[in-house]
Amino acid sequence: MGNVKPKGHEGKSQGPGVSSRKDYDPGVVHAEKSLPEDERDRSLRPQNLKEFLGQAVLKENLGIFIAAAQERKESLDHLFLIGPPGLGKTTLAQVVAHELGADFKVTSAPALDKPKDLAGILTTITDKTVFFIDEIHRLKPAMEEMLYIAMEDYELDWIIGQGPSARTIRIPIPSFTLVGATTKAGNVSSPLVSRFGISCRFSFYEQEDMEAIIRRSAGILKISIDDEAASLLAKSSRGTPRVANRLLRRMRDFAQVLGGPALASITPEVVQEGLTRLEIDPLGLEQYDREILRIIIERYRGGPVGAETLAISVGEAVDTLEDYYEPYLIQSGLLQRTPRGRMVTDRAYEHLKIAKPLTQDKDETNGFLF
C-alpha cells in the first residue's frame, strides 16, 4: 500500500495538537488543561512493558498480541483503553509504540476540529505508527466517520471541489494502530467501539503494585524511602500511579525541610506527618472527597441524589465529578451509583464518623407500623 503524502507537507508542522515521540510535548496536546506535575516529568514514564508495573492480565495479553503482530510483520490491531485518570493509559500507548519499534503520534479528540486536522496526521504517518487519541469520547461525528474507513481499510475519504462538481476520492494511508483512550467508555459510539480489535480496561492498582511503582519512582528521582514508608504511601495513593508520584514528591519536600538536609530520607514518620499536613486520610481521601460524601449525607440524607444536582452542590463540573472523584469513592465502597442517583454507603458514615440516622424503612421494620 502506498504512502501518499500531499506535496509540501514534508518537514512542516504536523497540524494542530499533534506531536511525535521525538518532540513529544504534552503542552501542545493538553493545551486546555493545566498539566499535572508528573506529566511534565517524563523520566517517570515506563518505556517498555517490563517497566510498566501492575495490570498483570492486561499486560500479559497485550505482550502476546504485540509479539504475534510483529511475527506477522503487521501493525497491531486497534487498541481501546478505558479507565479513570492517572492509571497509565497514555503511558501504555507509548509503551506499545516502543515495543513495536514504531513511531508514536499523540493528539486528543478536542484538538481535532476539522477533517483536515485528522487527514493531516493520517497522511503523514509512517507504516505501523501508533496513533494515540486521548479523550476519544469527545470526537466529532465527522472525524469519527473518517476514522471508520481509516481503521478498516487504511484509506481516507477526501472530498475535492465544491457544489455539484464535488467528488470523493480515496487516499491510501499507511497501516497504523489507533489507540483510543477514554475515561467514559459509555460515551463512545458503538460503531467506533466495535472497530477496536483489542479492549483494555484499567483497574485501580493493587497495594503491592503501588509499592513497586513508588520504589521505582523513588529510584529514578534518587529519593531514599524505606519499605514501611513506601507501603504507607501506597495505601494513600488511591490505587493511582499519578497520585503516588505526586505524593512521593511532596514527601520528599517534607523530609527535606522538616527533617533537615541530613534526614532527607522518607521514613514512616515523614509520611504520617506529610499526609496529616496534606489532609489525606488513611483511605487516601482528600478533603474534597470527604466534602462530597458529607454533602450527600447532610443535604440529601445520604442520597440518592442526581449527578447534576450533586455537581452543583459541590461546585464542580459533572464530568470532573464522574471521572475523577467518583471512581475511587465507589472503588473504596463509600459511594454507590444507583438508577435513582448517588448514595453513600454505611462505610461512608463510619469513615466520616457521622451517626447514620434511622431511615423510614428501618422505622417501619422496627415495628412502628405494626
Ligand X SMILES: Nc1ncnc2c1ncn2[C@@H]1O[C@H](COP(=O)(O)OP(=O)(O)OP(=O)(O)O)[C@@H](O)[C@H]1O
Instruction: Please give the residue ranges that form the binding site for ligand X (CB under 6 A).
Output: 38, 44-46, 52-54, 85-91, 134, 183, 213, 241-242, 245
| Number of Cα atoms under 13 Å in the Cβ half of residue 66 | 19
- Rounded CA-CA distance 83/85 in Å is 7
Candidates 91, 105, 129, 134; catalytic one: 134
Least distance from ligand X to the Cβ atom of residue 246, Å? 9
Least distance from ligand X to the Cβ atom of residue 20, Å? 17
Give the residue nearest to ligand X (CB).
Answer: 88
Candidates 38, 45, 89, 342; catalytic one: 89
* Residue the block writes with cell 504512502: 3
Residue 237's closest CA among 264, 216, 211, 276?
Answer: 211
- Rounded CA-CA distance 253/261 in Å is 11
Q: Is 347 an active-site residue?
A: no
Helix (H) or strand (E) holding 342: strand 341-344
**Helical ranges in 236-300 per DSSP H:** 241-258, 268-277, 287-300
Least distance from Mg ion to the Cβ atom of residue 240, Å? 12
C-alpha cell at 90: 497514555
Binding partner of 242, given Mg ion, ligand X, none, CB within 5-8 angstroms per partner class: ligand X
The contact pattern for Mg ion, residues 75-114, with x = CB under 5 A and - = no contact, is: ---------------x------------------------
- Rounded CA-CA distance 136/218 in Å is 32
Binding partner of 284, given Mg ion, ligand X, none, CB within 5-8 angstroms per partner class: none
Q: Which is nearer to ligand X, 90 or 107 (CB)?
A: 90
Q: Which is nearer to ligand X, 91 or 123 (CB)?
A: 91
Name residues whose C-beta falls within 8 Å of residue 68's C-beta, 6 or more positions apart in sequence: none
Position 220: which residue type?
A: I
Q: Is 23 an active-site residue?
A: no
Q: Which is nearer to ligand X, 54 or 302 (CB)?
A: 54
Name residues whose C-beta falls within 8 Å of residue 212's C-beta, 6 or more positions apart in sequence: 53, 54
Q: Which is nearer to ligand X, 37 or 364 (CB)?
A: 37
**Strands 167-172, 155-160: parallel, antiparallel or unpaired by DSSP?**
antiparallel
Q: Is 123 an active-site residue?
A: no
Binding partner of 213, given ligand X, Mg ion, none, CB within 5-8 angstroms per partner class: ligand X
Least distance from ligand X to the Cβ atom of residue 52, Å? 4
Binding partner of 80, given ligand X, Mg ion, none, CB within 5-8 angstroms per partner class: none
Q: Which is nearer to ligand X, 133 or 146 (CB)?
A: 133
C-alpha cell at 165: 462538481
Candidates 105, 138, 195, 242; catalytic one: 242
Q: Is 90 an active-site residue?
A: yes
- Rounded CA-CA distance 266/250 in Å is 10
Least distance from ligand X to the Cβ atom of residue 43, Å? 8
SS3 17: coil
Least distance from ligand X to the Cβ atom of residue 145, Å? 25
Q: Which is nearer to Mg ion, 90 or 345 (CB)?
A: 90
Q: Is 89 an active-site residue?
A: yes
Position 336: which residue type?
A: Q
Binding partner of 342, given Mg ion, ligand X, none, CB within 5-8 angstroms per partner class: none
- Rounded CA-CA distance 320/39 in Å is 18
Least distance from Mg ion to the Cβ atom of residue 135, Å? 9
Residue 305 DSSP symbol:
B
Q: Which is nearer to Mg ion, 78 or 342 (CB)?
A: 78
Candidates 124, 129, 177, 183; catalytic one: 183
- Rounded CA-CA distance 147/342 in Å is 36
Q: How many residues does the chain have?
A: 370
Residues labelled as active-site residues: 89-90, 134, 183, 242
Residue ranges in contact with Mg ion by CB under 5 A: 90
